[in-house]
Amino acid sequence: MGADEDLSFDWVHIAYEEKLAFMETYGFAGNQGKVNLEGILIRPKGVPSKTLFIYMHPASTLQLMPVPRATARRGVHVLCAGSRYARNDTACILENVVLDLGAYIRHAKERLGYETIVLAGWSGGGSLALFYQAEAEAPSVTATPAGNPVDFAGAGLIPADAILFQAAHASRARMLCEVIDPSVIDEDDPDRRDASLDIYDPANPEQPPYSADFVERFRAAQIARVRRITARVKEQLDTLRRRNSGERERGFVTHRTLADPRFLDASLDPNDRPIGWCYMGKPETVNNGPVGLARFSTLRAWLSQWSIDDSQADGLANAARIAAPLLVIENSADEVVPLPHPRLVFEAAGSRDKSYARIEGASHYYAGQPAQLAEVTDLVFDWLGERGIG
């Protein structure tokens, strides 16, 4: 039997009405007064289940990843749910993604007949899962950071029965603050840089292992750069509002967004990650490549996703608000997620039933790691089994 011949893959389409002030997704996805969502339902052939795992990332699709398939092979059904911004986070408003996730969960319960929902927050889906669950348990958000109304209470978000936080970072905004290149001093000209903060400049006297003073200055400069961009974003939004014309939004480029000293210095937050490498390749190349974090963004999307002071999808803040059982899983060789993030989320979590586990040697994607993939899958199902879920 081939690698996936034991599984069935079925397309799931969900449409729900939503009126927007202007278009933010391309094509038919949202220009007919409805949001159209697409997902893939993965099931072990001939095996019924009343439990559904939902994997969702704000801006990616996960059906090709090893983890959902390994989960389905354990006898449960798995939905890899794409948001309205699948594969393009340029205009992504995380509050809208929460509404999309809510539509999937309602569809799973009311149309597909699943009784138990496990919200599997893998990678960038971890902070999304926490944001969703916090608002489903006790809605509090009424607007996006840009001031556009959001009706979470009226959406009737259905809480999940358990949350997995697996190989996940604390939030997109926190990630950006820890990897953005602070050497840039002119957002319109990335070649204008403070050489003393350029970790990729071989002439920089600061070389790994970095001094504590340098790391402190570097981190402060990262936050300062993010806040400068945020101030510019808010100024442009205010200008557009005051004009009161048909122009409502703008896109912009943020250069050099992947310069974390941890990529080059194994002594910083040490774990088993490869040094001189990151999940997208050579860090210096990715730093200004076409697929860097926050490379292309709209004004509103910046505030929702990337502003450390404005994003409402912060994993630590939302973890503190949840009551559902929570399992946090750290991969010891994770080349994406900064080492402190899983532990910080676990410590912040308000759930009285929370557990923490570490998978030794596991990389972010478990690529070519069948032993670690099997170990983490066993761990998840043992944990759920102890709670009568699965």
Contact residues for 12 (Cβ-Cβ < 8 A; gap 6+): 38, 39, 40, 41, 79, 81, 107
What is the model's pLDDT at position 28? Answer: 61
Domain range list for the chain? 7-171+311-386, 175-306
CATH number listed for the domain at residues 7-171+311-386: 3.40.50.1820
Q: Which residues contact 66 (CB under 8 A, 6 or more apart)?
A: 365, 366, 367, 373
- Residue 33: its pLDDT value, please? 78
Q: How many CB atoms lie within 10 A of CB 333?
A: 17
For the chain, 390 residues long, the average pLDDT of each consecutive 10-residue run is 82 89 66 86 97 96 95 97 95 97 98 98 97 98 96 96 98 98 96 97 97 98 98 98 94 97 97 92 93 94 98 98 98 94 98 98 95 98 95
Q: What is the pLDDT of residues 319-344, one digit of tens each?
A: 999 999 999 999 999 999 998 999 99
pLDDT of residue 25: 74
pLDDT at 212 (0 to 100) = 98
Write out pLDDT tens, residues 161-204.
Answer: 999 999 999 999 999 999 999 999 999 999 999 999 999 999 99
pTM: 0.96
Question: How many residues are given for the chain?
Answer: 390
